[in-house]
Structure 1
């Protein structure tokens, strides 16, 4: 048999052959900006900023009008409200206001994160994600620059000292960077996990840290509510100096704004550390009296000597640690000898709560510093989450979830990308299409005979068969027919056969 060329050309980057009829779309460059993308980015940059500024303006105007003050310092008050919402240190006259409410900060971060999550598409590229992060930072930083200039001009009218410019941009940029990254990670966890390629125990530890933080914050909130109910007479006394309905509403809003700050202090009390309000301090073992702000929320702070049963509250963080260990035993591959997810969860939760404690504390005028004793808080929080967490893990491994049992949802998020395990390992593939009679060895033999019998005597010009195929990574149908020729692999589709001109007498009909 004369040499007949049967060439198979697989399309790939830099491969030779005919042009690919189905080229893959190239990733758009970072500088390319379509009108649709521009509209989404404008919303990311402007919508959270607009909502925050609108709320600040309404509150400032309502406060000035109800208090009977003139509107000369309105612009300075609005600028101070924007900067204070983003935890920028303010100095009014000679009073330093470093203890700023966490609730407005949490709201603006949540708004920005939600807007970034909405802007993420399933097929977003790295350039798209970069545009989203840039837009999330651009709008707030622009407003911050304007507010800094306004505060500089208003310092001659109101007793507001211009804040540190670098610190202001750092606080605003850091908060919105956290919001953007959190929103993107929430919307496209698959892409983030694939990009980071973290080990399974680290991802399980991240989820465990989030659950531990939420549980401790929830228990601290319940403790504050119970304490307020117990001290209702003190709560009523704080409203006596309000004067009118506007004063009552103002004190109530101020208490709600500072509620997350007190919740963080209550977490420190629960884990056995102490919370400080100037010279006063309180914990489960001792209470030191001192002057405290006359705010309704402070009625929840104990004033008398520590009761003998208060150390029982330490069972709460212990229970949170045990629950975390049980969850990680069900959702990770941790062993008793290698509790990496448990330690990671305890460490991340401790760092997160310590950051909240650092942000939620600060100087408050003549009262002094308000906040947690951070060194002790770090040690006891990690101990309460790690040691009982290991106990819960060991108990679960011995009695509930032995090692080797299939982990839960948080064990390995990459499992959902395992196409062979999840989609192509079903029994139907082994029993249905690929085991039919048409693919038996006899038919393969017939196919070989077809080539030998029909082309054995062909003496014309070389027949060049060029097959252009596109390599795909995912099989889209379970009924795709596999080519019987062993030289053609099943992952090549959209094939095109190109035949050279043959003599009329020797043209192969239909072949």
Structure 2
């Protein structure tokens, strides 16, 4: 297999060499998000241990557990499995890593540059994870923390930061990404439509959680009875905030009609099964039941989100009634993203049992909502003759400033090359002055036909080489200062 060349998008010399400025940027990408996250974990764990009156013997183990929990690594504390971990710290880590990676992406970044960037984004967190695994192993004799599976720990940490880095790179170089993947127009429109659909549904679910929390405000006081003191109250509030994204994802399952499970308890738009739930303020938003008749009106939320998605597809694609490929792509991608969020947001919660959505039912119901109502929105867009504006055109308008920056960059490079060419011309002039005028050498030869030719034979036959005699070297006129007597 021939080696890859720069024309193929790979420059080995550029990959193996780094400028000091580029190395400094990569070092910041590797160290800054990791440092922020580690400092936050240390502060929170020390505050929790000091407020609870515990000794500091298990501080190192608590810090290691906090770092792993922030990356969704399942933990085993004593004989209790803790798989339901808060999503808010994980989201903040993704935002920190993505922000620094987006700043480090250059307009002319090659594949080698992007490879260095992804490697830097993974290097720092994986190094800290290795240290935390070793600390958890040593601290298992002091605190009731069992070391997690090594492969699972590295997989979760690497996956979280890889998603952050890849998302940042894709957001900064969407045009190059679409060009590289050579996606058709309907796939591009479906991708953008899926993103808008997921965001809209999560925003609506957040609004429902807030409204339900306010409606059941009278039950919040009961959840603080076990707090003990002001530090305990503050801890419960922070814990509720950390688990808010998990409850929002569960609410999405309720809104589409599949329901959500909290151990033995479950909640849906048509039925509520009672059972023990965690005594934290956030869980006051969970209705105690029974299900009210008007709850079915909440199905209008995913229907409205789907119709809006179909209208967007109608504006940004060439979908029609017999070929709604962008609409189906949007519904499928949105369903996949929500199912993955539901899997990450759920897990085991000790004695309470499994907290999760029902993935198969949730996937089928969500895809049905987005596909059917999205098709309705598409037909509305076609009936009202909505002008088509492709996603790439919208992308061009959105990134006009980026194009201007790229033009300025190449203008500066052309000016540099012109300056370099001028210096090279000056060097040629200096060289000509140093060497002096050229010396011309002429050969005056006469072919003598009467002389016997030299016969040369070889494998391909024989041929003759005529003799050239009476050759005379004629020197051009030289300046007087260059003549030497007798020569």
Q: Sort the TM-score into its range (normalised by shorter chain).
A: 0.7 to 0.9
Distance in 1 between the 2:204 and 2:101 partners? Answer: 30
In the comparison of the two structures, how many residue pairs are matched?
401
1:379 pairs, out of 338, 344, 364, with 364
Distance in 2 between the 1:244 and 1:415 partners? Answer: 55
Equivalent position of 1:397 in the other structure: 382
Based on CA coordinates, which of the two structures has the bigger radius of gyration? Answer: 2
> RCO (CA 8 Å, sep 6+): is it higher in 1 or 2?
1
Equivalent position of 1:244 in the other structure: 229
| Cα displacement string for residues 135-173 of structure 1 (whole angstroms, at most 9, x for unaligned residues) | 001110110000000000000000000100000011111
> What TM-score, normalized to structure 2?
0.79
Task: Verify: 1:186 aligned to 2:164, yes or no.
Answer: no
Equivalent position of 2:14 in the other structure: 29
2:198 pairs, out of 209, 213, 229, with 213
| Cα displacement string for residues 16-63 of structure 1 (whole angstroms, at most 9, x for unaligned residues) | xxxxxxxxxx78531111111110110010000000000000000111
Deviation at 1:414, TM superposition (A): 7.6
Equivalent position of 2:247 in the other structure: 262
Task: Verify: 1:293 aligned to 2:275, yes or no.
Answer: no
Distance in 1 between the 2:349 and 2:80 partners? Answer: 8
Distance 1:415 1:297, change over 3 A: closer
On the 8 A contact 1:333/1:407 being kept in 2, the answer is no
Deviation at 1:190, TM superposition (A): 2.1
Equivalent position of 2:318 in the other structure: 333
Equivalent position of 2:181 in the other structure: 196
Equivalent position of 2:31 in the other structure: 46
On the 8 A contact 2:260/2:268 being kept in 1, the answer is yes
Task: Verify: 1:162 aligned to 2:147, yes or no.
Answer: yes
Deviation at 1:241, TM superposition (A): 2.1
On the 8 A contact 1:326/1:392 being kept in 2, the answer is yes
Distance in 2 between the 1:93 and 1:240 partners? Answer: 26
Distance in 2 between the 1:150 and 1:409 partners? Answer: 49
On the 8 A contact 1:216/1:267 being kept in 2, the answer is yes
Distance in 2 between the 1:180 and 1:331 partners? Answer: 27
Return structure 1 stretches of 4+ with deviation > 6 angstroms. Answer: 414-417
Distance in 2 between the 1:193 and 1:219 partners? Answer: 30
On the 8 A contact 1:203/1:412 being kept in 2, the answer is no
Task: Verify: 1:141 aligned to 2:126, yes or no.
Answer: yes
Equivalent position of 2:268 in the other structure: 283
Distance in 2 between the 1:287 and 1:114 partners? Answer: 41
Gaps of 5+ in 1: 1-12, 14-25, 424-474, 477-493, 502-511
SS in structure 2 at match of 1:240 = coil
SS in structure 2 at match of 1:251 = helix
Equivalent position of 1:469 in the other structure: none
Equivalent position of 1:442 in the other structure: none
Distance in 1 between the 2:381 and 2:289 partners? Answer: 42
Deviation at 1:356, TM superposition (A): 0.4
Distance in 1 between the 2:375 and 2:393 partners? Answer: 17
Structure with the bigger percentage of helix? 2
SS in structure 2 at match of 1:158 = coil
> What TM-score, normalized to structure 1?
0.75
SS in structure 2 at match of 1:311 = helix
Distance in 1 between the 2:122 and 2:239 partners? Answer: 28
Equivalent position of 2:389 in the other structure: 407
SS in structure 2 at match of 1:294 = coil
SS in structure 2 at match of 1:342 = helix
Equivalent position of 1:77 in the other structure: 62
Equivalent position of 1:232 in the other structure: 217
Distance in 2 between the 1:355 and 1:37 partners? Answer: 35
On the 8 A contact 2:87/2:345 being kept in 1, the answer is yes
SS in structure 2 at match of 1:30 = helix
Distance in 1 between the 2:182 and 2:108 partners? Answer: 19
On the 8 A contact 1:333/1:411 being kept in 2, the answer is no
Equivalent position of 1:388 in the other structure: 373
Deviation at 1:372, TM superposition (A): 0.4
Distance in 1 between the 2:59 and 2:347 partners? Answer: 26
RMSD across aligned positions (CA): 2.5
Equivalent position of 2:331 in the other structure: 346
Deviation at 1:354, TM superposition (A): 0.4
Deviation at 1:192, TM superposition (A): 1.6
Distance in 2 between the 1:306 and 1:393 partners? Answer: 34
SS in structure 2 at match of 1:243 = coil
1:63 pairs, out of 28, 35, 48, with 48
Gaps of 5+ in 2: 6-10, 405-409, 412-421, 426-437, 439-487
Task: Verify: 1:107 aligned to 2:92, yes or no.
Answer: yes
Distance in 2 between the 1:267 and 1:59 partners? Answer: 30
On the 8 A contact 2:250/2:356 being kept in 1, the answer is yes
Deviation at 1:313, TM superposition (A): 0.5
Deviation at 1:400, TM superposition (A): 3.0
Equivalent position of 1:443 in the other structure: none
